[in-house]
Each structure stands twice: as structure tokens, then as C-alpha cells.
Amino acid sequence: MSHVSLIKLRRESPRHSAPSRYSLPQGRRSTHFPQRVKLAARTRAGDGDPYMARCEWCHVWLGRDGGEVRRRVADGSTYPVLTSVANAVLLCGNRNEGCSRKAARREFEAEAGGWFIRGGEGPEHDPRRVPVLVSLDGSTVFRWLSEDGRYAAQAPAGG
Ligand SMILES: [Zn+2]
């Protein structure tokens, strides 16, 4: 677990504790979710227990502090859910390695699995309406990320 802790320390050392002061540090857009959203994503990824969190894409164990909580839609969207847990995924690694790297580089595989979403208007850019491809109970299925931090088997109702 020690190498995991080091990654965490390096990535999050300049802590911005006051959400009211709206300034995005350069190159750190993946880490500016509120703590409660990060915790909700880790809890979902740990099937109810953030200490059991796994990478939501490849399922490697991350625990309470490993990996990083990334935005799926990072820019170009006007949806109020940008900072909600529907737009948050816990991925292993960082911008230089692991699943986070694949999402940061907007690789085809990342987009096909819903881990990265292009910014824009319309439901195909709305993180509430774009499912992620997850492994659950041994099968690979699409699940929608609900705004209350669950994997939903169906898209949310309404427009
Ligand atoms: Zn992974």
C-alpha cells in the first residue's frame, strides 16, 4: 500500500479546502470534486465500502486512497451534474499510467466504455445518460451512474 500512498500525496499535496474560492489549479482538473463526491465514488467502487474500492474499469484493488477520481466530461458541458458523482469515476493510476492515463488520453477504449465523454450539448454528452462498461458478478455490462452514487441498470427517466 505504500506506493499507493505516495501517488496520492504527490497528486493532492496542494489542497484546496475552500470550495467557495473558485480557482482551478493548472493540470489538476481531475481532482477538484468535493470530498463528499470523491468519497461517494470510492464507496460505489468498493460496493459500499470505500476501503474496498477497486478501479471501476479494470477492477484492481485501490483501497481508500489509491487511484484518482476523474471527471468523465471535463469541459465544454453546461450540465449542472459536472461535479456530481454521476460524472465521477475512480480509476487506477494517474495521468501517466493505468486506466486514468487511458481516460486522460481520450483513448478509443476509454470513450467506448464511458470513462471519458466528449464535451458538448445533448444527451450523449450528459454523464447521467452515458453508461459505463463495468464488470459485475463476472459479466461485463453497461451501468448508468446515478446521482446518488449507485450503478443503475437503466438510464434515468425523463429528458
Ligand atoms: Zn484500472
**Is 115 a member of any domain?**
yes
pLDDT surpassing 80 at residue 77: no
Give CA angle at 46 (135, 96), nearest 5°.
Answer: 75
The residue-averaged pLDDT of 38-67 equals 96
User: Closest Cα partner for 124 from 79, 70, 66?
Assistant: 79
**Is 157 a member of any domain?**
no
Backbone phi and psi for residue 17, each to the nearest 5 degrees, phi listed first: -90, -20
Ligand 1 centre and the CA of 112: distance in Å?
15
Place of cell 458538448: 120
Q: What is the pLDDT of residues 89-122, one digit of tens each?
A: 999 999 999 999 999 999 999 999 999 999 888 8
What length is written for the chain? Answer: 159
How many other C-beta atoms are found inside a 10 Å radius of the C-beta of residue 1?
A: 11
Ligand 1 centre and the CA of 20: distance in Å?
32
**Are 54 and 60 within 8 A, CB to CB?**
yes
**Is 91 a member of any domain?**
yes
Please indicate, yes or no, whether the overall pTM of this predicted structure exceeds 0.85. Answer: no
DSSP β-bridge partners for residue 134: 141
Ligand 1 centre and the CA of 21: distance in Å?
32
Range of the domain at 122: 2-9+29-152
Domain count, the chain: 1
pLDDT surpassing 80 at residue 2: no
> Each residue of 21-58: b (16+ CB within 10 Å) or e?
eeeeeeeeebbbbeeebbbbbbbbbbeeebeebbbbbe
Query: Using 50, 70 and 90 to split pLDDT, how confident is the model at 149?
Result: very high
Backbone phi and psi for residue 71, each to the nearest 5 degrees, phi listed first: -75, 145
**Is 23 a member of any domain?**
no
Ligand 1 centre and the CA of 15: distance in Å?
24
Backbone phi and psi for residue 144, each to the nearest 5 degrees, phi listed first: -90, 140
**Is 24 a member of any domain?**
no
